[in-house]
Amino acid sequence: MLTPKQTREVFKALDHFKIELPSWGFADTGTRFGKFFQAASASTLEEKFHDAGLVNQLTGVCPTVAVHVLWDFAPGEDTKKTARLARKHGIKIGSINPNVFQDGCYKLGSFCSPDEKAREQALAHTLDSIEIGKAVGSKHLAMWLADGTNYPGQDSIYRRKHDLQAAFKKIHNAMDKRWAGSTLLIEYKPFEPAFYHTDIADWGMAYLFCKHAGKRAKVLVDTGHHLPNCNIEHIVALLLDEGMLGGFHFNDRKYADDDLTLGSIDPYAVFRIFDQIAQFTFNTGKDPKLAYMIDQSHNLKPKLQAMVQTVDEAQKQLVKAQLVDRKALAIAQKKGDIVKAERLLKAAFETDVRPVLADWRKSRGLPGDPLEELRVNKTIEQLGKERTAARKARGEVQSSSYA
């Protein structure tokens, strides 16, 4: 049972916590081996916005949706019309994600490519993405690159670093000049698709490129993009202390890469991340103003359920982190009482926060259990029927009817 003071602190934290949904998380996607269709998946931009709006209605904490420029914006499209379409479904456009990996010219890289034309195309596309961000009222440009090499000697690591450094500087300067209040988020990934070396392989490299780019650049931590047993909360703490953490892409992984629902493998790891954020605020009295985003694309779980499930898990671990007795923890740490310090963390993590979370939701006019609400109200089944008929009318065919 939480004390009245704890309840007030939890309610305050939940009121301030917002998490962004990915447009691509509602559409059919696949692996390199195949594509598994779901009848209720979104196949138009409006359907993506509808689904994001539905998750926001159920949870009350997802007011923005991340968009992918090549997947969500056609060349020459009226971007303000797209923003109006999002508002129609009760959401706004969030982070802008350029695509500098899908075109054939990026076979050897984008900003790091030995082909000058490929580098120029990547920069031009990103500058166009900046204009889109400005037009739709976004605040973040999120950059993930597939750049890397597969074989030793394939390319000059030194040249690639210098070209990438120069590109980020140009991107940052364009944002500084054209896009008021925006932040450049630079993501990292240890491997895939590159086999030998990846140009932004870890948080240190991302931090370095941010420092060279300018004050608007921050590191984006994807919770799936780490090697096994990596101490992600250590990275989070260092970046917070340096003022260089921009935000998160939430997911989970067993071995590497991403796309599992948050906390499905290691919920204690998620708690430890939120614990470090709460500790930073306790230490400094500052709100780090992080961008919390989901980056998941599910082939097996129903997409809407997976998104609500991740939002619910994020809220649970956020709440648990608020329950750590920071003063008692500081005393235990000063005394070198390791067992006491660990028990304080475990006590918070093992607390059943579902009742207080349900109370907060109900006090805000939300379902006490949004995932169960989604599962029992047959919305997904209905969307599956409607969208299957709509695709059939457009002459589109799916090979699976999985809802």
In a domain, 36, yes or no: yes
| pLDDT tens track for 237-258 | 999 999 999 999 999 999 887 7
- Look-up of token digits 């029992």: 376
The answer to whether residue 398 is domain-embedded is no
Burial track 379-392 (b if 16+ CB lie within 10 A, e otherwise)? bbeebbeebbeebe
Residue linked to tokens 């998160």: 248
Domain of residue 378, CATH code: 3.20.20.150
Q: Quote the CA–CA distance of 65 and 67 in Å, as a whole number.
A: 6
Residue whose tokens read 């493998």 = 265
Please state the rounded mean pLDDT for residues 326-345. Answer: 98
Mean pLDDT of 31-45: 88
pLDDT at 259: 86
Is residue 403 in a domain?
no
Residue 402 has pLDDT above 70, yes or no: no
Domain that holds residue 322: 4-393
- Does residue 402 sit within a domain? no
What's the mean pLDDT when you consider all of the chain? 95
Is the residue at 27 inside a domain?
yes
User: Each residue of 377-395: pLDDT tens digit?
Assistant: 999 999 999 999 999 999 9
- Give me the numbers of helices (H) and strands (E) for the chain, helices first please: 15, 12
**Closest of 184, 190, 196, 1 to residue 97, by C-alpha:** 184
Say what the pLDDT of residue 401 is: 47
Residue 187 lies in a domain: yes
Residue 193 within any structural domain of the chain? yes
The reply to whether 400 falls in a domain is no
- Tally of domains in the chain: 1
* 283 backbone dihedrals φ, ψ, rounded to 5°: -70, -40
Q: What pLDDT score does 1 carry?
A: 83
3-state secondary structure of 229: coil
